[in-house]
Amino acid sequence: MMTATRPTRSIRSPKRMLTLALALFLTLAGTSVAQATWTAKPSTLSASVAAGTLSVKQSGFSALAHVYLSSPASALSATTPVTVKNNGSVPAQYTLAFAASGGLASAITVQAWVSTVPCPVNVSAAVPGAQNWTPTAPLTGTLAAGASTVYCVSTSITPALRFTSASGSLNATSTLSATVGKNWATTGNSDTATQSLTSMTPLSLAVTTLTDHSLTVSWKAPADASTVAGYQVYRVGTSTPIATVTSLTALSYVDTGLNVGTSYSYYVVAIDSNGNASPATASIGTSTSGISGSAWYKVKIAGTETCIDGEKELTASGTLLIFFGCKATSFDNQAWQFVLGSGTNYTIRAKYVTNRYWDLTGTGNVNADIQTFDGSSSQIWSVVPITGGNGTFTIKNVQTNKCLDNVNTLTAQGDIQVVAKTCIVGSATQAFTLTNVG
């Protein structure tokens, strides 16, 4: 029979066991130290020292506090060494976890790597494992008692994201904890850093009335304007800019060709040399001024490019008014002057022929034409803004109280005739706009 021999123990003892008594006491030294101390009485099975301290400390993370600027290139990143040190008397497994909250977190790239040399000031290329703040995988390792390790922790934003991002900030946190075996662990301790950026959005947008057909849009450069190459001006309701301003000092634009008494709103974005656009300003607007007695106007069916026209450019009294496509050139027979009379009443004079005014003639006074001026009430018109119509008007004859209308009545020449009909609130065929043409 074989007999098992008990191995020789380093401490001789009778064949009895002492109960192991263990107590864990956890303390935190400052905001970046996690520490635990434990004691144990000797047992018959071990001659090792039965007392130890688990204490780990991090330092350096708060130096990641940073304001991201568009230039110089180094201002697009922040890098700092973060040291993890085991101040305890036993080996420890540590975990260093990063997290961040705030609207900027998803735009910032985070990189961390073990380094034995000073961390670079500017990290221009991502290292393997680069990720955003949320989520970020923790760093883990094992440190002998008294040992330390250094991580280079770098955060950065691309020039394009810097330019296109809205103002925002993030509050970053690094949390360090450590364990020994399965039974002892420190509770987490944290260090923090705040990062932020200010939007490239232009400042102090203003819109001022210039005339009955133009408005001036002005703004100021953003605080961080070193990479701004120009500005784009948008009129609310349009998907493409109405102007691109490349001057970096004359920060304004005059929008012309607008309708009389009409409200327009605008917003502006900054652009860089790569075509990236900043977040837009809030929109702001105002209205053009009212009818000027010295100006000439095209009269359009609202929302169209159809103008009131002297048919065939005929000059005789009785020439009918028709609806015709608005002309870009040679449009004198589509230009009309509103001569203010009493109150808000006007006589409306033709530009292309001397001493011809709008009138109503024919059976029931329904045919709009031009006649030699005679001062009769059939040649007097009321131009009434349409409530909520934003620059649209009805044009009502004072004598008949009828409104100009488009009902597809044809002239002998086959053109669509301008006629007067009973005024109807909200009628699209009785709504007109006025545009200054000189």
Task: Express each pLDDT in 281-315 by its tens digit.
Answer: 999 999 999 999 999 999 999 999 999 999 999 99
Measured CA to CA, the distance from residue 261 to residue 434 in angstroms comes to 9
User: Looking at residues 228-253, what average pLDDT do you find?
Assistant: 96
- CATH 2.60.40.10 assigned to 24-197: yes
In this predicted structure, the answer to whether residue 48 has a pLDDT above a threshold of 50 is no
Tell me the percentage of the chain whose pLDDT exceeds 70. Answer: 85
What is the SS3 assignment for 312? helix
- pTM exceeds 0.85 for this model: no
Cβ burial, residue 117 (10 Å; 0-12/13-18/19+): exposed
Most confident of 28-37, 100-109, 163-172: 163-172
In this predicted structure, the answer to whether residue 43 has a pLDDT above a threshold of 50 is no
pLDDT at 181: 83
Which of these ranges, 35-44, 311-320, 337-346, has the smallest mean pLDDT? 35-44
Are 82 and 174 a contacting pair, CB within 8 Å? yes
Instruction: Provide the CA 12 distance to its chain's centre, in angstroms.
Output: 78
Alpha helices, H only, 128-197: 159-164
User: Residue 76: which of 173, 192, 165, 138 has the closest Cα?
Assistant: 165
Tell me the percentage of the chain whose pLDDT exceeds 90. Answer: 73
Integer CA distances (angstroms), 431 to 175, 261, 298, in order: 68, 14, 14
User: Looking at residues 355-376, what average pLDDT do you find?
Assistant: 91
User: Looking at residues 243-271, what average pLDDT do you find?
Assistant: 96
E strands, 136-292, in order: 139-143, 148-156, 168-180, 184-185, 189-197, 203-209, 215-220, 230-235, 243-245, 252-255, 263-271, 284-287
Where does the chain hold its CATH 2.60.40.10 domain(s)? Answer: 24-197, 203-287
In this predicted structure, the answer to whether residue 130 has a pLDDT above a threshold of 90 is no
Query: For strand 284-287 and strand 263-271, is the pairing parallel, antiparallel, or unpaired?
Result: antiparallel
| CATH class for the region spanning 297-436 | mainly beta
Give the CA dihedral 232, 235, 239, 241, nearest 10 degrees.
-30
pLDDT at 128: 54
User: Looking at residues 220-245, what average pLDDT do you find?
Assistant: 96
User: Looking at residues 157-161, what average pLDDT do you find?
Assistant: 94
| Higher-confidence position of 156 and 188 | 156
Are 388 and 302 a contacting pair, CB within 8 Å? no
| CATH number, domain 203-287 | 2.60.40.10
pLDDT at 31: 36
Where does the chain hold its CATH 2.80.10.50 domain(s)? Answer: 297-436
In this predicted structure, the answer to whether residue 264 has a pLDDT above a threshold of 60 is yes
Assigned token pair, 430: 């009785």
Token pair 């434990």 is found at: 38
pLDDT at 127: 55
- List the 252-255 sheet strands across, edge first: 203-209, 215-220, 252-255
User: Looking at residues 394-420, what average pLDDT do you find?
Assistant: 94
User: Looking at residues 92-109, what average pLDDT do you find?
Assistant: 92
